[in-house]
Amino acid sequence: MNEIPLTHILFLSTALFFIGMYGLFTRRNLITMLMAIELMLNSVNINFVAFNKYLYPDKLNGVFFTLFIIAVAAAEAAVAIAIFINLYRNHRSIDVEETEQMRY
């Protein structure tokens, strides 16, 4: 059944994580940055489920972590978008380069 080695799944999740990170570094729009973060969270979730399935098949802890992360990520996305909308009202822009007030 387990013909796919664990490392391959980890390769997938690592690649997904760094793709998300690339997006985080290069995108200037806050919403797209949020998307990148969602990708990174998903890669983490994949990791949890994979480890659970391959290493501790008699337990469910990884699944629970995944569920909780999904819940937290949903909340985080909602709050983030509320902030973006508020920001947009005040600045007419959600470009990350223009939100530079929090500097020295």
Partner 1 sequence: MQRPFTIDDIAMNYSSYIALIPLLPLAAFVMLGLLGKQLSRSAGILATLIMLVSTVLACYTAYNYFFVTGKVNGVYPPVAAFHYNWLPFSPGLSIDMGVLLDPASVMMLVVVNFVSLMVHVFSLAYMKGENRFATYYAFLALFTFSMLGLVLSGNLLQMYIFWELVGVSSFLLIGFYYDRPAAVAAAKKAFIVTRFADLGFLIGILILAFYGGTLDFNTLIYQLTATNSSPLTQSPQAGFPGISLLTWALMLVFMGGAGKSAMFPLHIWLPDAMEGPTPVSALIHAATMVVAGVYLVARLYPIYLLDVAVLQIITWVGAISAFLAAIIACTQTDIKRVLAYSTISQIGYMLFALGLAGYGHTTTGYSASLFHLFTHAFFKSLLFLGAGAVIHFVHTNEMLEMGGLRKWMPVTHLTFLIACMAIAGIPPFAGFFSKEEILLAAWENNRYVFLLALITSGITAFYMFRLYFSIFWSRTRSYPHQHGEGSWTMKVPLVLLGTAAVLVGFIPFADFVALDNQKEITIPLSFSIAPVTIAIAGIALAYLLYYKYNPGPQKLALALGGLYKMVKRKFYFDELYLFITKRIIFDGIAKPAAWIDKHLVDGFMNGAGRATARFAESIKAWQSGRVQSYALYFFGGIIALAALIVYWWT
Partner 2 sequence: MTAYQIIFYLISAFVLATAVLAVTANRIFRSAIWLLFSLVGVAALYFWMQVEFVAAVQIIVYVGGVVVLIIFSIFLTQQSGSQLPKPPLKRSLFALLAVLFGFAFTYNIIARYRFAPVAAAKPFVVPVSAIGEQMLDTKQHGFVLPFEVVSMLLLAAMIGCIVIAMRPVPKEKANQKRTAPVGAFGDNLTDLPRPAAEPDPVSMMEEKTT
The residues that touch partner 2, with contacts defined as CB under 8 A, are 1-4, 6-12, 14-23, 25-29, 31-32, 34-36, 38-39, 42, 45-46, 49-50, 52-55, 57-58, 60, 63-64, 66-68, 70-79, 81-86, 88-89, 94-95
Does residue number 99 form part of the binding site for partner 1 (CB under 8 A)? yes
**Residue 28 to residue 40: CA distance in whole angstroms:** 17
Does residue number 2 form part of the binding site for partner 1 (CB under 8 A)? no
Dig out the tokens for 24 from the structure: 């985080």
Q: Of 97, 86, 79, which is closest to residue 27 (Cα–Cα)?
A: 97
* DSSP H or E stretch at residue 45: helix 30-55
For partner 1, the binding residue among 21, 39, 63, 77 (CB under 8 A) is: 21
